[in-house]
Amino acid sequence: MAKERIDKIIASMGRWSRREVKGLVREGLVLLNGQPAASPEEKVEAETAEIIVAGEPLRYRRFTYLMLHKPAGLLSATEDSRQRTVMELLPEDLRRRGLFPVGRLDRDTEGLLLLTNDGDLAHRLLTPKNHVDKVYRALLDAPLTGEDAAAFAAGIKLGDGQRCLPASLRVGEDPREGFVTLHEGKFHQIKRMFLSRGKTVLYLKRLSMGGLSLDQKLGKGEYRYLTEEEVTKLREKAGICE
Ligand code: URA
Please tell me the distance from the alpha carbon of residue 26 to that of residue 29, in angstroms, as a whole number: 8
Q: What is the pLDDT of residue 22?
A: 93
User: Is pLDDT above 80 for 241?
Assistant: no
Cα of 131 from ligand 1 centre, angstroms: 17
Residue type, 124: R
**Alpha helices, H only, the chain:** 6-11, 18-26, 92-95, 119-126, 146-154, 189-195, 228-237
| Interval 177-205: pLDDT, tens | 999 999 999 999 999 999 999 999 999 99
| Pocket of ligand 1 contains residue 188 by CB under 6 Å | yes
Q: What is the pLDDT of residue 242?
A: 63
CA-angle at 147, arms to 146 and 150, nearest 5°: 90
Cα of 66 from ligand 1 centre, angstroms: 20
Full 3-state SS string of 204-230:
EEEEEECCEECCCCCCCCCEEECCHHH
| Pocket of ligand 1 contains residue 189 by CB under 6 Å | yes
Q: What is the pLDDT of residue 42?
A: 92
**139 touches 72 (CB < 8 A):** no
| Pocket of ligand 1 contains residue 75 by CB under 6 Å | no
Whole-model pTM: value is: 0.87
| Interval 105-140: pLDDT, tens | 999 999 999 999 999 999 999 998 888 999 999 999
CA-angle at 58, arms to 69 and 228, nearest 5°: 35
Catalytic residue among 7, 80, 93, 106: 106
